[in-house]
Amino acid sequence: MITTVTFDFWETLVTDSPENLAAQRALRVAALGRALAQAGAALSPTAVEEAYDRSLAVLDQRFWSRHRDPTYREQVRLVLDCAAPGAADRLEAAALEAAVTGYISPVLAFPPALQPGAARAVEALAARGLTLGIISNTGRTPGIMLRRVLEGHGLLRHFTVLSYSDEVGYRKPDPEIFRRTLAGAGARPAEAAHVGDNPVDDVDGARGVGMRAVHFAARGRAEAPRADLVLRDLGELPERLNGSL
């Protein structure tokens, strides 16, 4: 009997458009440029963008490839230092705080859309009395902002435990982020199902700790062979959950 359901965030509950992503990037790069100028390391917009792109490889090498994550404040310092070593240390506290806010908040100006059926699934499961959670890797936008996205869509109140990788320090498919979420929900793995779009991070990650895995294979994606259940429409989840698992 499934008593707890956790969801991936990106491309499961929400989806973002290329236009949104480009607008978010522009705001983030502009905030970094202002901070670098205040640190005495003014760069051209092109140079700031290049440093921003280089930081992705550094984040992956130091953290993401090892299924780890820095805090969002650590990430901002790292990105600034990719542009100009020591820049973060030269900023006054207020200027560094402004850089952090400018880096993490663009998603609020250009929020992602809910996936079709996401609200229906979440609300139906919550009405049934199931415990709901989120297990999500983050990138440039941290969990503190993604909570506000959920709140804006009217769904935050339905979730009991939210595990974002920048807060937990571990990224899917590492078992630790799943274990901590289960502990927060007070659920045994056999009583829980995780829903996500990624065959490795979501399906293999959940099954690796003994949870049931629901693969959200929208828009013609290939089905994950190890999934316990495959959905093409998230709105079907409440009906199929206990009948198929």
- State residue 98's pLDDT score: 98
Where in the chain are the domains? 4-16+112-244, 18-109
- Tell me the CA distances in angstroms from 158 to 5, 26, 70, 107, 188, one per residue in order: 11, 32, 27, 21, 20
- State residue 130's pLDDT score: 97
Q: Give the model confidence (pLDDT) of 190-243 as tens digits.
A: 999 999 999 999 999 999 999 999 999 998 899 999 999 999 999 999 999 977
Contacts of 44 (CB under 8 A, 6+ apart): none
Q: Give the model confidence (pLDDT) of 10-29 as tens digits.
A: 999 999 999 999 999 999 99
Q: What is the pTM of this model?
A: 0.96
- State residue 166's pLDDT score: 98
State the alpha helices, DSSP H only, in the chain. 18-38, 45-62, 72-83, 87-90, 93-104, 106-109, 118-127, 143-152, 165-168, 175-185, 205-208, 237-244
- Which CATH superfamily includes the segment(s) 4-16+112-244? HAD superfamily/HAD-like (3.40.50.1000)
